[in-house]
Structure formats: structure tokens, C-alpha cells
């Protein structure tokens, strides 16, 4: 079944709120996300910072210990106005370089979906004519948090959350651990484009039209979000410092190769040792995100 | 001038040793590197662990405050026998997953330069027929360390060292800060292939034929190694945890964009924020390595 | 007013739950805490792991931006049976030392409040006759979390939480930021004694009789928990890695000296530089705790 | 034998330099250390930054795998002029607090050994009359580094080095691993007083008269510096982040309790879990220092 759904309310946390939409496994949801400050396609302010979320979506039959499967069918900016920030976050440069960073203000961008470009509205001279190709992604995707917690949409944990990974884009399929009945899926914080690490604290923030297809795997628990695109399997870890996020992601990928691809710890180690790739989601939020990925063709042999 | 040079002695540290070869800026050096345990193309044991280095190469005219420029012309395994390790390092998985890692032993690989592949000599059943394409790289490249220090070839710092970055391969051009007269270049620790992070503590270790061209930029000091390939500029940071390595790399790239590309901190921040890419060199050695890179076409406009 | 209150229900999160007790500033609350697994003085199981909390206590007049003041009047084990753990946590030793740690089991302790000692019930030979003096403390103390979050009692953040600091004992006065109307104070996880860092993941866990006096400071917001005992002022930071927890604690203490003791950043820096002391609360929970303290006599001059 | 020795030369690294003094196990050395900028008791400039070291002292019979034992008999400032710094280091506060730190300058102190106090020479108004009791310590103590390395006196590693631990003061006895024949002991960087963490990057820096007694334990290798004072045994770990320094220290203390006090991993875990104390040496240098300590009376039972 296809659901076309505009949220009546937005949340700033991943938690156990009343279901706003109920879907069956296999259904598709076509919805919208607000920008990180709460404005929609018409620049109407409908919610507040940080990262208001569309959700929760109750998935019929989802129980703790299951996996929620979310395929991103499409993400498309639904207005022209985007914004970002003009300065690196203090935590991504050496402490003695912090005082020479510029004062924090917004940058504004014109997002042209037809030309598939983003351009600065008031570029500094050095960036005159800068034109970046769009690469829309979802900064926030996840489920109600573990153990009855209600966790801010400005951070991330085992339930997913604000991971700001460029790989959460059209064509990717994600799996999330289910911690609460119905799973309770949330989505938000779309970026027209974003560098690794979200090191200015923002991608080019914009409201989005989003289509997701939702499915369920019963009874095979996972600990961290997992994903798959045409080329790669990947596991995601969320923590500080990056070292620990990397430990979570690597351990989850190791488990995955063991459970689903018949690679014991030794075979998986040999393969990952020579072929793993790491991506950095964000190094800005309270929890950082690291992604460990491996080519599917190497494990699907 | 072209130098064909076989070292008479190998070093396990990046330090101020007597020059083994003297070159002029613009010269090319064709040499060999031993494997990480000290064996050459004929499997003769000529030196000891860790990572014996070919060097030091004295570059005429190099003085503290200059930059040494090293272009990797070619890297080619010069024997068939390679080796790696069968288990993830304890520090890249969650602590509670450490006890279930396999006991550490070597894996052995057949490196076929004609077919451009590496194959396990005694593969576990699950990796039967695994064939990996070669991607030769240098684990160790750098100069005599800062402040008269002598630093192990098992770690890295501002002078470069054991950074284990897959991007140090044919076609890349690196810059190193000069800390001592002559600069004193060292090279070693070739890998036929290596995953991000060198998470089993080894790439496929093998002796190499290596050709480097060496140049000098006078009087424009840098703090961390920098590099360039066809597509990207990159800066390298070496430290623990990854967060600090990332800070060093980002700060150095920011400086580079300011000094050489006329992008002030604000313009550079805007650009990096939406376009930076991060790579992880190693997360195994005492100092980890993070690389920050930006497409050249964005800054050479 | 003095309240004698036995909770009818316990919570495993610091969040915005209905008030279980309402007090006025200046009131005293005499209550109980369960052990970390949910058992009371009679070893009846009334709640589940982790760390069930007594609360929330609504403080009349408390509004976001205020400070809740909590003085610990007394903490006293209310039964003889305590328990802890027999092995160091994997994350506090070098990764290569993890496999030689013993298998995790409980240790059991006899807590003798009259003799003021704890003794192992089945000591290994080497610890025969070990007798430790009691030093009762509260592992969990804090308020409803920031931004409408509901945060597990197994971790900590700006609201306090599971900080496992030995200094939270009789005679200390703490201040917590108020994030939600009423503040909503919670208390739990008493330890008869605990080493720095809670490195076996437990102190000697026991149910407690606890008496707190509660007060309110209107309108002078703080960001992190603060405390005071006879000798020291201290600020607490909760995060991973320890480096960041230390940054939070140091920054909060710097702010405190500026706001309340008329020491500008320079004077405070000079003083802290030569006189600060750091304590480690825990290095076991998802967020670690570092405490920065300074002798009161140095700032109350 | 008692040696009275004034170095003719000072070193800025812990490395394998020619012996400046040769002693036998059991000997006592009475010497001087320069201040961190190289000035002696008469304010004559005899060496350069960072932290010039008196040494190396060759200990007869010391071979790799032995332990060098160093008892600090006395440390005494040998002039009145001390200096420190007026601002917290950028890395010990939250990144967004860095810009409001004062501009870095020196503070100057009058050190009165008779009154046993330090007083600011030009105190800001808020610190008028501040008088701190002396607590002299050695910032740098250690041996030639592991593996033939030469490591800066601004950092630390397994050989000791610039650990800036307040506990290295009169009465303490330290053990260092011997990595090179003769051990090669170095000492320097005296502080009249210093806070935990050396968070302004300096203690009150001053030249010192130092008396050490030196001994040797043959053939029982250690990995990290260990120490003992009247009350405590302690092990020291040096690394970034603090988490890893703490892992090194805890692991070394665990080994110590096993090797010398007959406590297996379980007994040692039980004891450390409830009784360990952690101190922070410095959080300023490239490697941070954490100390794990346990009361001697608990392990010498």
C-alpha cells in the first residue's frame, strides 16, 4: 500500500510517542521533512530546532528484537532556499586554530533541482561562480531509542538518529534494530549536499519530499544500523570519540558477515583487513558516526 | 639525474642518520624496499622488524622550514610471496568482542604482478577462490623527525612515517616538512593491497621496487604532510585518537587553502563544509592517520 | 518540611515522568533506594535493571534555567547483602589484555554498618581477611534530562545521572541545572564503597536509606552539575572520551569562578593551573565522568 | 658512592647519548636541573627549550629487560624566580570556550624556600595576597626511549619522560624499564608547585637542586613506569586520549599485583574495583599521563 502522509506534528526526539501513521511491512510512504529549523517547502515555520522529525511511523508486527528495513526510494528538495554555515566547528580543528575561525553566521544557497545544482546566494569573492552538484541525503533516520529512552534528534545511538551520513540517499536500504513495539520510524534533517563529517555543523539544509518503502525482518536482532547499496554492505557506529564509533561499526560488520554470509571471525578478519572502507558520517554532533563497508561482490561470492 | 640505489643498511626509525644517498632537487631515485620483517625480493633477511626503511636520502639544499616534494613514480612488488594477518586488532572492535577474535597468525598470499592479483595460499573454505586486485602502496614515507627526535617506523608524526594510507601510491605527489638539513627521506613498508585502517595490523606485506622523483620547495614551511593526485588535494594528520588526527588534517588543509589558493578561513570553511572527504589511513599504529581531501577542481577554479 | 517517602514505582531513565513526590524548597526527604538490580532492604525485587531510580521529586517553583540544590544529609546501607563484580571491564585495560581477564561473575559482600566494614562472602585465598571501610555514595543523582529527553540511568549527561563519583556522599551539596518544570529529581544506585572509575562496572551495590535536603536557586542557569563539600568546589563533566568530560568539567568550573567568585578567565586560569585537582567518576558507563575541583579557601578569600 | 655532578651539556630528548655520568647501583647523585627554558640558579641561559635534561646517567650493569630504580631524596628550588602561564590550554576547555581565553603570557612568581611559599610578582587584583605552599616535583624523569628512539622532553612514553605528575616528589621511588645498556637516566623540568593536568602548560617553573639515589633490579622487565610512596603503589600510563593512558596504567598495575603480590587477575580486579585511585599527570603534552594507585597496606597484607 502507498501512503501519502503529511505530519500534523513534528518531534525533536527519537522516542516512544503515539503513532502518527501505521503501515504494514511492504508499504511505501511518501511524505515530507522540514528543514533543521522547522520550515516546510513554503518556508512556513511548523516546528522548532533541532531537526524536527516526521514520525513516528508504526510498523505492524514489529516487536523488540526484529529489524526494521527502510529503503530510500527518493529524496528531493521541495523548495529552492537552503542554508548552511560559514565556519568550521571548533572541535574539528586544532584548539589553537579556533580563535582564527570566522564568526558563525548562516550561508544561504539557491537549490536548483532542474539544473541539479546548489549556488551561494551571497558568495564571498573567492567562491563566485561556485556551483555544487546536488547529492540529497537524510541527516536523521532511525527508530524509537533503546530501553524506553527518548533521545534528541541532534545525536545518534544504536537506534540510528542524527547520523549525517552521505550514504543515506536514494537507492540505499537500511536496517534498524527494533526496541519498542511498532518500531516507530522517524525521518528528518534533509541535506541537499553535505561534506564528510558535517564539519560546519550543517549540510545545505532544506525541506524535502521523501519516499520510503518499509519492511520488517522478524526476530533476528541487530545492535547497530546496517545498510546496503548497489556496491557495498555497511554497518554504522555512533559514539565519541571516532575510535569508538569505528569499533561499533567494525564489530557490527563482523557480526553481519558471520551471521548472514557464513564468514567466521577469521575469514571475515582476513577479508576486512585488506578490503574494508571507512566513511565518517559526522564529527559534529554529541555522538560521531563511522561507517564500515565492504564490497558485496566479495561476500556474496 | 637518475639514481639506481640499493641500500647497504636499513633503519627502523625516522631520524638523523648519515646520508646513504645524496640527490639534487629534480632527481629520480629507483630503489627497493624490504618487507616489514626485513626480507628482500629473494627472501633474504637483511634487517629486522619493525618496518626497515630505505634511507636516508639527503636532498641537496634542503633546510629546516623547506618542503620536500616526493612523487611516487612507481611501486611494484618484486616477488610473489606476501603475508598478512588473520585477525582484527583488538583496538578496532568493541572490548567485549576481543575474546572471540581468532588467535593471531600469519596469512600467506601469492602476488601475481602479471595477473595483478593477490590470492591466499591456504585459504579457509569460505575464502576459496578469493582474488583481490593489487593496489600497491607505501606504508612508510617521511623524513627525519622534528626537533632532533628519532621516531620508530611503527608510528607517525609531523614528519610522516608509518601512515599506511592507501593513497600513497603511483601518481601521488607528497610534501613533507623539512626539520633537519638534507631533509633525510626514508621509505619502506610496501603493501600489495591494504584495507582502510590497516585493521589486521598489516596490508599484504611484500618487498617492492620503488621509483620516486624528489624535489624541493624552499622556505614555505608546512606542519603536516600534504599530497596531491589527479583529483584531490589532501592533508594528513597523525595522532590518537582519530579525532585529533582529523583535527590536524583539517587544520592543515585549511592553512593550505589559505596560503596557496587564496581562500580565507570563511571561504575555505564553506567549501570544506559541503565538499570535504575524509579517509582513514591506519587505526592500528601508536598514532592513527586521518586524511582530509578536497577536489582540486573546486579550489583551482 | 520533612517528607518520609517510599516510592511506589521506580524508573530506569531520567525523564519527564509524573511527579511521585512534591516538595518545597528547603524541605528534607527521607527515602530509600533499591540496589542496581531492583531489590530493597528485604531483598524483595521491586524493579528491574539498570539502576532503578527513586523519583521524580517535583520541586515547587523550579523552572528551566534555575538550579536545583541537593544536600546529601545521609546515606546508609539498609541491609547486609552487597554485590559487585570479579573482573575489570574490558575498556579499562589494553585491548591485548582483555582475553586474560577472568570470566565475569558476581562477588558477594557482607556489609556491616556497625563495624563500618565490607567483607567478601567467599573470598579467593589471596583476599582472605580483606576488610574494607565503608564509604557510602550515590551512583545516580540528577534531574529530568535536557530538551525533553529521557536518558537511561546507566549513563549521564548535563542533567547528572549515573556519574558514580565517590564524592557524592554525606555532607556534599550538589547543584543541577533545571531543564523542565519542577526539576524532577531522581536518586538511586547506592554503593557501600567504590573505587575510582567504577572499573569493575560496579561498586559494592546495596539498597540504601537516603536523606536529602532540597533547595532552589532561581534564575542562574548552569550547564553541568556542580558541588561543594567542606574543602572543595567542584564541577562535573560527563562524556566520552575522558578528555571531553575533563573539558566540560574544567569549563564549568571556570564559569563558576567567574560568575560567583569574581575571578576573570585570567585569574581563574592562574589559580586552576597550579591548584586544580581532577577526579575520575566512572570510566565504565556510556558517558564517563570527570570532576574538576579547587580548594574553597583559595576562592573564598 | 655519592656523586656531586653539574652537567656540562643538556639534552632536549630522551635518547641514546654518550654517558655524562656513570654510577653504580646504590649510588646517590646530587645534581641540578635547569628550568624549562634552560636557565640555572643564577638565571644564566645554558640550554634551550623544551625542558633541557640533566643526563644521561649510565647505571653500571643495566641491560635491556632490567628495571632502573630511582628514589627522589630531595628536590629544592635553587633560586627565587619562577614562572608559569596565565591561561588555560585550549585543549582542556570546550572548543567554544577557547576564544574567550586570555592571550597567552607568562606569570612570574617569587619562590621563598624559607617560608615554603610561592607568590605572584604582579598579581591581578583578584589574586592579591595569594600565597601557595610549595610542593616541588620533577616534570621530567625517565630513561633512553624504547627501540633506539630519541623522544622529545616535551612528551612521554614507556620510558617515562615529561609526565608532569605531582607524585614525583621527595620520598617517592620510581621504576623505569631499561631499553638500552646503561639505562641512561635523565631528569629535568622541576616545578615548585603544579596543579593536576598541568593545564596552563606549566607548573611554577624553576631550576632545582636534586638528589636521587639509583638502583637496579636485574631481569624483571616492566612495560611502564611504576612507583611507590609511603602509602601507595602506582603505575603510570602515557598516551592520548586519557582513556588509553588509563588503560596502560591499569594494565601495568594489574601485572604488578600479579607478579609481585600474588594476586591473580580476579583477586586484583576485585581489589582494584573497590579501591583504585586515579590521578591525572598532564593533559597538555602530546602524550597525556594517568596514574593508577592502590594502598600498599591492601596488597602487602
A75-119 pLDDT per residue, tens: 999 999 999 999 999 999 999 999 999 999 999 999 999 999 999
Considering only the beta carbons, identify the residue of C107, C196, C271 that sits closest to D277. Answer: C196
For residue D163, which phi and psi values (nearest 5 degrees)?
Answer: -95, -20
- Measured between CA atoms, the residue of chain D closest to residue A243 is D241
pLDDT digits (tens, 9 = 90+) for B215-267: 999 999 999 999 999 999 999 999 999 999 999 999 999 999 999 999 999 99
Quickly state the pLDDT bin for D294 (edges 50, 70, 90): very high
Distance from CA of A109 to the nearest CA of C (A): 29
Quickly state the pLDDT bin for D38 (edges 50, 70, 90): very high
Distance from CA of B149 to the nearest CA of D (A): 5
Of A190, A217, A244, which closes a domain?
A217
Same domain, A148 and A174: yes
Q: Name all chains with 3 or more CB-CB pairs below 8 Å to chain C.
A: A, B, D
Q: Helix axis angle, C242-261 relative to D242-261, nearest 10°?
A: 110
Asked whether the predicted pLDDT for residue A215 surpasses 90, the reply is: yes
Rounded Cα gap, residues D238 and D152, in angstroms: 14
Mean per-residue pLDDT over chain A, rounded: 98
Cis peptide bond N-terminal to C50, omega within 30: yes
Q: How is residue C144 written as a grid cell?
A: 529530568
Percent of the residues in chain C that have a pLDDT greater than 70, as a whole number: 100
CB contacts under 8 A, C 262-301 vs A, are 286
Same domain, C202 and C267: no
Residue D90 lies in a domain: no
Q: How is residue D202 written as a grid cell?
A: 606549566
Residue D111 lies in a domain: no
- Average pLDDT of span A243-254: 98
Residues of chain C with C-beta less than 8 angstroms from the C-beta of B87: none
Q: Which residue's C-alpha cell is 606476501? A: B82
**Chain-centre distance for alpha carbon D174:** 10
pLDDT digits (tens, 9 = 90+) for C202-221: 999 999 999 999 999 999 99
Q: Please tell me if residue B49 touches chain D, with a CB cutoff of 8 Å.
A: no
pLDDT digits (tens, 9 = 90+) for A137-156: 999 999 999 999 999 999 99
Mean per-residue pLDDT over chain D, rounded: 98
Alpha helices by DSSP H, listed for chain D, are 242-261, 265-275, 296-299
Instruction: Kindly tell me the number of DSSP H helices and DSSP E strands found in chain C.
Output: 3, 21
Quickly state the pLDDT bin for B181 (edges 50, 70, 90): very high
Cross-strand partners of A69: A175, A215
Residue B68 lies in a domain: yes
Residue B112 lies in a domain: no
Same domain, C243 and C207: no
Same domain, D180 and D239: no
pTM for this structure?
A: 0.98
- Please name which of A199, A164, A177 lies closest in space to residue A63, comparing C-alpha atoms: A177
pLDDT for the residue A301: 78
pLDDT digits (tens, 9 = 90+) for D198-251: 999 999 999 999 999 999 999 999 999 999 999 999 999 999 999 999 999 999
Mean per-residue pLDDT over chain C, rounded: 98
Same domain, D26 and D169: yes
Q: How is residue A168 written as a grid cell?
A: 543515506
Report whether A82 contacts A109 (CB < 8 A). yes
Cβ contact (<8 Å) for A95 and D98?
A: yes
Same domain, B209 and B173: yes
Asked whether the predicted pLDDT for residue B65 surpasses 90, the reply is: yes
Percent of the residues in chain D that have a pLDDT greater than 70, as a whole number: 100
Could you count the other beta carbons within 10 Å of the beta carbon of residue C114?
5
pLDDT for the residue D292: 98
pLDDT digits (tens, 9 = 90+) for A14-69: 999 999 999 999 999 999 999 999 999 999 999 999 999 999 999 999 999 999 99
Residue D182 lies in a domain: yes
Asked whether the predicted pLDDT for residue D301 surpasses 80, the reply is: no
Same domain, C284 and C209: no
Maximal C-alpha separation, chain D: 56
> Would you say how long chain C is, in residues?
301
pLDDT digits (tens, 9 = 90+) for D132-167: 999 999 999 999 999 999 999 999 999 999 999 999
Rounded Cα gap, residues D207 and D31, in angstroms: 11
Q: Please tell me if residue C89 touches chain B, with a CB cutoff of 8 Å.
A: yes
Cβ contact (<8 Å) for A149 and C151?
A: yes
Per the structure, the count of domains in chain A is 2
- Measured between CA atoms, the residue of chain A closest to residue D101 is A99
Same domain, C203 and C236: no
Cβ contact (<8 Å) for C152 and A150?
A: no
Asked whether the predicted pLDDT for residue B162 surpasses 90, the reply is: yes
Q: Please tell me if residue B162 touches chain D, with a CB cutoff of 8 Å.
A: no
- Please name which of A44, A46, A59, A41 lies closest in space to residue A11, comparing C-alpha atoms: A46
Distance from CA of A101 to the nearest CA of C (A): 20
Same domain, C45 and C154: yes
Quickly state the pLDDT bin for C301 (edges 50, 70, 90): confident
Cross-strand partners of D213: D28, D71
pLDDT digits (tens, 9 = 90+) for C148-185: 999 999 999 999 999 999 999 999 999 999 999 999 99
Residue C88 lies in a domain: no
Of C199, C217, C235, which closes a domain?
C217
Q: How is residue A166 written as a grid cell?
A: 552521505
Quickly state the pLDDT bin for A72 (edges 50, 70, 90): very high
Of C193, C217, C241, which closes a domain?
C217
Residues of chain C with C-beta less than 8 angstroms from the C-beta of A12: 147-148
Segment (H or E) for C29: strand C28-33
CATH code of the domain covering residue B270: 3.10.28.20
**Which residues are within 8 A (CB) of A260 and not within 5 positions of it... i.e. 6 or more apart?**
none
Rounded Cα gap, residues B260 and B235, in angstroms: 13
Same domain, D147 and D170: yes
Probe site for chain B from D10, D147, D246, D284 (most B CB atoms < 10 A):
D147
Rounded Cα gap, residues C116 and C137, in angstroms: 14
Domain with C153 in it: 2-80+134-217
Residues of chain C with C-beta less than 8 angstroms from the C-beta of A148: 12-13, 150
Q: Name all chains with 3 or more CB-CB pairs below 8 Å to chain B.
A: A, C, D
Cβ contact (<8 Å) for B95 and C96?
A: no
CA angle in degrees (0–180, nearest 5) for A156-A158-A163: 35
Residues of chain B with C-beta less than 8 angstroms from the C-beta of D150: 13, 15, 148-150
Distance from CA of B285 to the nearest CA of C (A): 13
pLDDT for the residue A111: 98
Q: Please tell me if residue B248 touches chain A, with a CB cutoff of 8 Å.
A: yes
**Which residues are within 8 A (CB) of B292 and not within 5 positions of it... i.e. 6 or more apart?**
B234, B235, B237, B246, B249, B250, B252, B253, B272, B276, B277, B278
Same domain, C293 and C230: yes
Q: Please tell me if residue C49 touches chain A, with a CB cutoff of 8 Å.
A: no
Q: Assess: ipTM above 0.90.
A: yes
Q: How is residue A277 written as a grid cell?
A: 572502507
- Please name which of D270, D213, D268 lies closest in space to residue D235, comparing C-alpha atoms: D268
Residues of chain A with C-beta less than 8 angstroms from the C-beta of C12: 147-148
For residue D115, which phi and psi values (nearest 5 degrees)?
Answer: -80, -15
Q: Return the number of CB contacts < 8 Å for C and D.
A: 202
- Please name which of A167, A213, A205, A210 lies closest in space to residue A69, comparing C-alpha atoms: A213
Report whether A202 contacts A85 (CB < 8 A). yes
pLDDT digits (tens, 9 = 90+) for B14-25: 999 999 999 999
pLDDT for the residue A192: 98
CATH code of the domain covering residue C144: 2.60.120.580
Cβ contact (<8 Å) for B150 and D15?
A: yes
Residue D272 lies in a domain: yes
> Would you say how long chain A is, in residues?
301
Probe site for chain C from B85, B95, B100 (most C CB atoms < 10 A):
B95
Cβ contact (<8 Å) for D95 and A99?
A: no
Asked whether the predicted pLDDT for residue D119 surpasses 80, the reply is: yes
Residue A122 lies in a domain: no
pLDDT for the residue B203: 98
pLDDT for the residue D168: 98
Same domain, A150 and A272: no
Torsion-angle region of A208 (φ positive above 0: left; ψ -120 to 50: alpha; else: beta):
beta
Considering only the beta carbons, identify the residue of C94, C100, C274 that sits closest to D204. Answer: C274
> Would you say how long chain B is, in residues?
301
Asked whether the predicted pLDDT for residue B301 surpasses 80, the reply is: no
Residues of chain D with C-beta less than 8 angstroms from the C-beta of B15: 149-150
**Which residues are within 8 A (CB) of A42 and not within 5 positions of it... i.e. 6 or more apart?**
A79
Q: Please tell me if residue B148 touches chain D, with a CB cutoff of 8 Å.
A: yes
Amino acid at each position: 500500500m502507498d501512503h501519502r502522509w503529511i505530519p500534523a506534528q513534528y518531534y525533536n526526539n527519537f522516542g516512544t510517542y503515539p503513532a502518527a501513521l501505521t503501515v504494514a511491512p511492504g508499504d511505501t510512504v511518501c511524505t515530507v521533512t522540514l528543514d533543521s529549523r522547522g520550515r516546510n517547502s513554503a518556508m512556513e515555520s511548523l516546528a522548532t530546532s533541532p531537526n524536527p522529525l516526521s514520525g513516528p511511523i508504526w510498523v505492524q508486527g514489529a516487536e523488540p528484537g526484529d529489524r526494521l528495513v527502510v529503503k530510500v526510494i527518493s529524496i528531493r528538495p521541495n523548495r529552492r532556499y537552503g542554508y548552511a554555515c560559514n565556519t568550521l566547528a571548533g572541535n574539528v580543528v586544532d584548539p589553537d586554530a579556533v580563535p582564527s575561525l570566522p564568526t558563525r553566521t548562516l550561508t544561504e544557497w539557491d537549490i536548483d533541482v532542474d539544473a541539479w545544482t546548489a549556488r551561494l546566494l551571497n558568495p564571498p569573492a573567492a567562491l563566485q561562480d561556485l556551483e555544487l552538484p546536488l547529492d540529497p541525503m537524510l541527516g536523521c533516520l532511525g527508530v524509537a531509542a533503546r530501553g524506553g529512552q527518548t533521545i534528541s534528534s541532534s545525536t545518534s545511538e544504536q537506534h540510528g538518529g542524527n547520523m549525517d551520513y552521505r550514504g543515506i540517499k536514494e537507492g540505499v536500504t537500511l536496517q534498524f534494530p527494533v526496541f519498542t513495539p511498532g518500531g516507530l520510524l522517524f525521518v528528518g534533517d534533509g541535506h541537499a549536499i553535505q561534506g564528510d563529517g558535517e564539519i560546519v555543523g550543517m549540510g545545505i539544509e532544506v525541506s524535502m519530499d521523501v519516499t520510503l518503502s518499509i519492511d520488517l525482518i522478524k526476530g533476528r536482532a541487530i545492535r547497530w544500523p546496517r545498510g546496503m547499496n548497489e556496491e557495498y554492505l555497511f554497518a554504522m557506529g555512533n559514539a565519541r570519540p571516532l575510535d569508538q564509533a569505528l569499533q561499533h561499526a567494525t564489530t557490527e560488520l563482523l557480526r553481519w558477515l558471520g551471521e548472514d554470509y557464513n564468514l567466521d571471525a577469521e575469514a571475515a578478519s582476513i577479508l576486512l583487513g585488506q578490503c574494508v572502507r571507512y566513511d565518517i558520517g559526522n564529527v559534529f554532533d554529541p555522538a560521531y558516526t563511522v561507517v564500515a563497508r565492504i564490497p558485496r561482490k566479495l561476500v556474496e561470492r
